[in-house]
Structure 1
């Protein structure tokens, strides 16, 4: 189990960084966020995830090897009613179920869905990327003084 954060540890300054959304009930963190969008707060000089801090302070300890899942899918939310401690596999499966299309808008289902381990991807985007790479390589070879030969010369 991880250490429990005492409710008194989270100061008035901490709570002033939260803005409640009346429509969703989310407690949105308005201060610093990390590069992936999760709220951050310094505790004893170390950056900690805000959703984990509020969960520990208001619900209790997070079991070892568990992640805190945002049931609302809002990374800025730190409302403990929107958070649940679950194994990593459950958290990943829930997040993947919400993502139905790639960044280019292609569906991530059926024949267009590519799986590598536990990662999902878009076959349409894979083909476009490969075609662009082949075209760049072809142009580079055409401009090169020493083009790469595709076949070896036969020995005489």
Structure 2
């Protein structure tokens, strides 16, 4: 058993290289036109898709508008985070903690 698009590609274009999968360039998974198929890695195929992960990976800026670049991007547990936003969040947290300590000190007086 083999999917028809794989058979069509191999008949007209040759064998699919090891470790590669066929990407439907036309985005129609039912299509078996060999001209619409390209062998790529699974990662490339997933990133070219229309799913949540692919859409997220294509983003170039965080929701606050900071760029996702080498300098400003932190990757933790596979998740991409904006260093500028982390810095802002940490500053707000420290200010909130300081205000709470000062309020508590005033109550003790």
Q: Which has the higher strand share?
A: 1
Name the TM-score, length of structure 1 as normaliser: 0.35
Q: Which has the higher helix share?
A: 2
Name the TM-score, length of structure 2 as normaliser: 0.48
